[in-house]
Amino acid sequence: MSSKKKILVFVDWYLPGYKAGGQIRSVAAMAGHLRGEYDFYIVTGDRDLHADAPHAGVQLDTWIKLKDGSHVYYISQEKRTKQHLKKIMFEAQADILYLNSMFSYFYTFLPLTIRKKFLPGRKVILAPRGMLGKGALKIKALKKKSYLLTTKMMGLYRGVTFHASSTSEEKEIHQQFGRKAKVHVAIDLVEPRQLTNVERIKNKGNIKMFFLSRISPKKNLLGTLKLLSTLPAGNSFEFDIYGPIEEEAYWKECNAVIQTMPSHVKINYKGILENSEVIDVMSRYHLSILLTFNENYGHSIVESMAAGCPVLISDQTIWKNLKEKNAGWDIALNKENEIRNAINDACNWSQEEFNAYSKGALTFAQQIFDDKEGVEQNKKLFA
């Protein structure tokens, strides 16, 4: 019998899934880093984001142990009920419940209601995962406002500790739940590794750029495409899009803009990348663009820099002052001329100038991967 505290984690999607992006990697990295201090038991769905069938070769509706020592319970569609979730929670006898979404009905709302009625003394940590940012709340605003109002009135957040991945997210949580809300700041973790740069050719006046994320309004691909369509002639721009199409109607809007692109701006949709492919593919590009409305961490941003690829991001992430670090740019979304100038500047990089930015991005990424303070912050979150 383990003497370590047991943490029961609820997350909509998990390994071997990858299409949901950051939350999968955040939970996996947390379990990997903290397995010496805590036992992680992860409750999740039986399939990847938008998948029609369960994960191949994965046993459902029972606890299975992964190589990293964590245990995972993949719930089948047939067992996806409140009663079965209650059964799992009672049998697990966990010390701490850890919830990975603000608005998930099955993996946040139901555990909170079960805990309130049957396990009122159980410690709960809720990670909003950037869903309380202004940009994120503007999407389906009425529905989210109604949900927050209802759950507050139900008293579901009494005694809950919120996990903020940055001081800016801490402020967002306090704006929604008041100054008395208990918030612990601990940056999202990544699996440690030693990075090496891959050299690539960069010619002045030509640039290969990419977008890697879920294709949904929050990630602002549509706004990015509209901006790219206004780039002046004289240079050659190539922009490849990677990621699952989360909303078909939104992708249709994106496609309409793609059809109007000038000849010097080439846009390609490349489909979905598996995690094992990401670094290799990113190592072929000169610039990553993610002008998101809100990002509590941004794993694809860190992965881009880890591939020696500078980034152009909005100011709605935790990564700041990238120009000073020679790692790219973080620019407010309303400063379109500034964003356009950054893209043109990158396009006009010489080989030497690109190499300097590539080295800057890689150096900053290595600092993130080597961050010991973040691990200590996460340990204290569960203490």
* DSSP codes joined into one string, 235-255: SEEEEEEES-B--HHHHHHHH
Co-location of 212 and 154 in the same domain: no
Helices 372-382 and 22-34: angle between axes, nearest 10 degrees: 80
Q: In the chain, how many domains are there?
A: 2
Co-location of 126 and 213 in the same domain: no
CA 177, CA 53: separation in Å to the nearest integer? 38
* The token pair that represents 167 in the structure block: 């001081």
Co-location of 144 and 65 in the same domain: yes
Co-location of 164 and 213 in the same domain: no
- Domain annotation covers residue 200: no
For residue 292, give its domain range.
206-369
Beta bridge partners, 126, equal: 99, 162
Co-location of 210 and 179 in the same domain: no
- Domain annotation covers residue 198: no
Co-location of 44 and 78 in the same domain: yes
Please report, for the domain that includes residue 30, its CATH number.
Answer: 3.40.50.2000
- Domain annotation covers residue 142: yes
- Domain annotation covers residue 222: yes
Domain boundary among 133, 156, 185: 185
Query: Is 34 in contact with 379 (CB distance < 8 Å)?
Result: yes
The one-digit pLDDT tens for each residue of the chain (383 residues) are: 567 999 999 999 999 998 888 889 999 999 999 999 999 999 999 999 889 999 999 999 999 999 888 999 999 999 999 999 999 999 999 999 999 999 999 999 999 999 999 999 899 999 999 899 888 898 899 999 999 999 999 999 999 999 999 999 999 999 999 999 999 999 999 888 888 888 999 999 999 999 999 999 999 999 999 999 999 999 999 999 999 998 899 999 999 999 999 999 999 999 998 888 888 999 999 999 999 998 889 899 999 999 999 999 999 999 999 999 999 999 999 999 999 999 999 999 999 999 999 999 999 999 999 989 999 999 999 98
Co-location of 157 and 266 in the same domain: no
- Domain annotation covers residue 174: yes
